[in-house]
Chains A and B, each alone.
Chain A
Amino acid sequence: MDKSKKYSFKKILIYLVCVVLLIASVMPFWILFVNGTRSTEQIQQGFSLIPSRFLNYNYKVLVGRGFNIFNGFKNSFIIALSTTILSLYFSALTAYGLVIYDFKLKNVVFALVAFILMVPGQISMIGFYQLVLRAGLTDSYIPLIFPAIAAPATVFFIRQYLIGSFPKELVQAARIDGASELGIFHKIALPILKPALATMGIFTFVTSWNNFLMPLMLISEEKKFTLPMLVQMLRTDIYRTEYGGIYLGITMTIVPLLIVYLILSRYIIAGVALGSIKE
């Protein structure tokens, strides 16, 4: 009796903490959305959690000052999508090569993959920039997209998946039927890998979509700015006194991602948990 009472008290406390954290997660975004619909005067007069009716006005202010969000969407989307496709395809290819074939340098390649996992990306950014500069590829998306071909974490994840759920006998059987090696990869391995590719695809896409430092370094032509770079522009003097517009601008950069997250949250959270266990 005493014990169960203690438990129910503890449970109330736990739910209380969880609800507070839930509010802490949601509230900043709610304030953001609401302020995006309020006029600058209203925002300065006081705090409110109820949307107002200046959404249209704020939008016109943003557009009037050259905030081209749809161009930013387009640019970020092109980069994130290409990055994701390249990364998934070549990571699957690499993982398949490591699992199916017993070539001499296999362990060397695998050790290499494990090693790159440990080396943080920021370390090489100066050398990378100089390389891009000398190749005349600044203001091009190529250096933002093609490095995705070597994505060690994705290779690692897909390799684990292949080991766990790909019967090697399928390869032998297909060879007897006269299939080519690449044909076997395309027609048999890729379809089986779909769930693993979907999980890694979400993370690759989001990481690329959110990337700020690399495009900031490499892109200077405003037409080619990605979404996070547009966010930075909201911080400049052009928008200084337009609080409603700034809030709306931030809102617009967040909403697509938020919608995708709410639809895919179950897979994303499962993916986070999986990624760590597989290390």
Chain B
Amino acid sequence: MKKKNKLVNYDKYGYLFVAPFIIAFLVFQLYPIIYTFELSFTDLSGWETKLNFIGFKNYINILNNEFFTKAFINTWIIWIINFIPQISLALLLASWFTNNRLKIKAQGLFKVAFYMPNIITAASVALLFYSLFSYPLGPINQLLINFGILQEPYDFFRSKLATRLIVAFIQFWMWYGNTFIILSAGILGINPNLYEAAMVDGATDRQMFWKITLPLLRPIMIYVLVTSLIGGMQMFDIPYLITNGKGNPDYAVDTMTMFIYKQAFLGSRNYYIAATASVLLLIIILIFSVIIFKSLGEKKEKRVGVR
């Protein structure tokens, strides 16, 4: 009897242990989210502090806002042209590095090098690439002229396509190493007996990749896809700094988060537009995460073999 009482008492300590987390969550995360929702139904701007509720007007207006639509499309374009090559290269590298027949050497060195760009401050990386591609005498222009590829310097940051490609390339360059390491770990988690049995049966590398690796890697692929999408939809540092906050030329690399930032903190400080865009960004991310889970993750039992 006494012992039981004691146990119950101990378990109440659980609340004490999780209390700081819960309080910090409520104050710093939940409340700001609810507050953002609330602001999206007001016309708060400038240094005003009183909230006027105006219903769904902001949501109707923002869908007609040319800059928001542009930012939405840009974010998707940049994410897609970065993600497709990124996951393809990462998969290829992961399948090479984990292949027992190939026995690739110096894996540690390559991994350290491939992951390196990911750890460096994105702000510094943005400015570095801005300097490399600068006009007229940046190193890339000098090299292209030296090799005879260009006759005269090319102003990359005046071309919509070039600017988008540069931003997408930086994202690709910073993230393929991360994706590659995650996929490698996923492949190493697959039961090695499956590969041994396949090899005994005379399967080729290609067959093993398509029939064993890819299907069993599905949960990890979903994880990579969803985290990359969430990160990609929030892209800010690189496009912001490479265009000095403007998103030019012709707003080609103006992303959704840049739109939110500029609405809230520049000019007339339209918090109501920024808040509305934030809510839409959340909805977009949730919808696509659910779609990805539903369309790729239906066979839950496939997790066998992945530790």
A interface vs B, CB < 8 Å?
7, 10-11, 14-15, 17-18, 21-22, 24-26, 28-29, 31-32, 35, 43-44, 46-47, 90-91, 93-94, 96-98, 100-103, 105-106, 109, 112-113, 116, 118-131, 134, 143, 146-147, 149-150, 155, 175, 181, 185, 206, 209-210, 212-213, 216-217, 227-229, 231-232, 234-235, 243, 246-247, 250, 253-254, 257-258, 261-262, 265-266, 268-269, 272-277, 279
- The B interface is mostly helix, strand or loop, or mixed, namely helix
Residue among A91, A120, A121 facing the most chain B CB atoms (10 A cut-off): A120
Complex interface residues of chain B between 103 and 127 (CB less than 8 A to chain A): 104, 106, 108-117, 119-124, 126-127
| 8 Å CB contact of A261 from B38, B119, B237, B241 | B119
- Is the C-beta of B32 less than 8 angstroms from some C-beta in chain A? yes
| 8 Å CB contact of B35 from A130, A254, A274 | A130
Question: Which residue of chain B has its CB nearest to the CB of A15?
Answer: B104
| 8 Å CB contact of A127 from B33, B96, B285 | B33
| 8 Å CB contact of A131 from B17, B32, B128 | B32
Interface residue count for B (Cβ, 8 Å)? 99
Please state if B282 and A126 are interface contacts (CB–CB under 8 Å): no
Complex interface residues of chain B between 123 and 138 (CB less than 8 A to chain A): 123-124, 126-132, 137
Please state if A18 and B110 are interface contacts (CB–CB under 8 Å): yes
Please state if B113 and A246 are interface contacts (CB–CB under 8 Å): no
Which chain B residues border A17 with CB–CB below 8 Å?
A: 93
Question: Which residue of chain A has its CB nearest to the CB of B33?
Answer: A124
Which chain A residues border B35 with CB–CB below 8 Å?
A: 124, 126-128, 130-131
| 8 Å CB contact of B186 from A106, A127, A276 | A276
- Is the C-beta of B81 less than 8 angstroms from some C-beta in chain A? no
A122 in contact with B121 given A18-B110, A131-B32, A273-B185 (CB within 8 Å): no
Which chain B residues border A106 with CB–CB below 8 Å?
A: 14
In the docked arrangement, what's the CA distance between A272 and B182, Å? 7
In the docked arrangement, what's the CA distance between A93 and B110, Å? 37
Of all A-B residue pairs in the complex, the 9 with the closest CB atoms, nearest first, are A97-B17, A101-B14, A127-B35, A127-B32, A103-B14, A127-B36, A149-B24, A273-B185, A228-B123
- The A interface is mostly helix, strand or loop, or mixed, namely helix
Question: Which residue of chain B has its CB nearest to the CB of A253?
Answer: B124
Question: What is the distance, in angstroms, from A92's C-beta to the closest C-beta of chain B?
Answer: 10
Residue among A43, A116, A149, A275 facing the most chain B CB atoms (10 A cut-off): A149
Question: Which residue of chain B has its CB nearest to the CB of A11?
Answer: B102
Please state if A250 and B13 are interface contacts (CB–CB under 8 Å): no
Question: Which residue of chain A has its CB nearest to the CB of B244?
Answer: A235
Which chain A residues border B102 with CB–CB below 8 Å?
A: 7, 10-11, 14
In the docked arrangement, what's the CA distance between A117 and B17, Å? 20
Please state if B274 and A126 are interface contacts (CB–CB under 8 Å): yes
Question: What is the distance, in angstroms, from B61's C-beta to the closest C-beta of chain A?
Answer: 16
Interface string of B32-53 (1 = CB under 8 A from A): 1111111100001000010000
Question: What is the distance, in angstroms, from A23's C-beta to the closest C-beta of chain B?
Answer: 9
Please state if B119 and A257 are interface contacts (CB–CB under 8 Å): yes
Which chain A residues border B17 with CB–CB below 8 Å?
A: 93-94, 96-98, 100-101, 185
Question: What is the distance, in angstroms, from B154's C-beta to the closest C-beta of chain A?
Answer: 15
Which chain B residues border A121 with CB–CB below 8 Å?
A: 234
| 8 Å CB contact of B113 from A22, A96, A146, A272 | A22
Which chain B residues border A97 with CB–CB below 8 Å?
A: 13-18
Please state if B278 and A126 are interface contacts (CB–CB under 8 Å): yes
In the docked arrangement, what's the CA distance between A22 and B106, Å? 12
In the docked arrangement, what's the CA distance between A232 and B122, Å? 11
- Is the C-beta of B11 less than 8 angstroms from some C-beta in chain A? yes
Which chain B residues border A126 with CB–CB below 8 Å?
A: 32, 35-36, 39, 260, 264, 271, 274-275, 278
Which chain B residues border A269 with CB–CB below 8 Å?
A: 111-112, 115, 181
Question: What is the distance, in angstroms, from A83's C-beta to the closest C-beta of chain B?
Answer: 12
A25 in contact with B116 given A131-B31, A235-B127 (CB within 8 Å): yes
Please state if B120 and A254 are interface contacts (CB–CB under 8 Å): yes
Add 6 more A-B contacts to A24-B173, A128-B36, A277-B306 (CB < 8 A). A10-B102, A21-B110, A93-B21, A124-B33, A253-B121, A254-B128
| 8 Å CB contact of A35 from B124, B139, B281, B286 | B139
Please state if A181 and B123 are interface contacts (CB–CB under 8 Å): no
Please state if B28 and A150 are interface contacts (CB–CB under 8 Å): yes
Which chain A residues border B22 with CB–CB below 8 Å?
A: 109, 112, 150
In the docked arrangement, what's the CA distance between A206 and B117, Å? 13
A246 in contact with B110 given A112-B25, A276-B185 (CB within 8 Å): no
In the docked arrangement, what's the CA distance between A257 and B125, Å? 12
A100 in contact with B278 given A126-B271, A231-B124 (CB within 8 Å): no
Which chain B residues border A93 with CB–CB below 8 Å?
A: 17-18, 20-21
In the docked arrangement, what's the CA distance between A105 and B19, Å? 12
| 8 Å CB contact of B116 from A7, A116, A261, A275 | A261
Which chain B residues border A130 with CB–CB below 8 Å?
A: 32, 35, 39, 44, 271
Please state if B241 and A235 are interface contacts (CB–CB under 8 Å): yes
Please state if A268 and B117 are interface contacts (CB–CB under 8 Å): no
| 8 Å CB contact of B13 from A46, A101, A155, A257 | A101
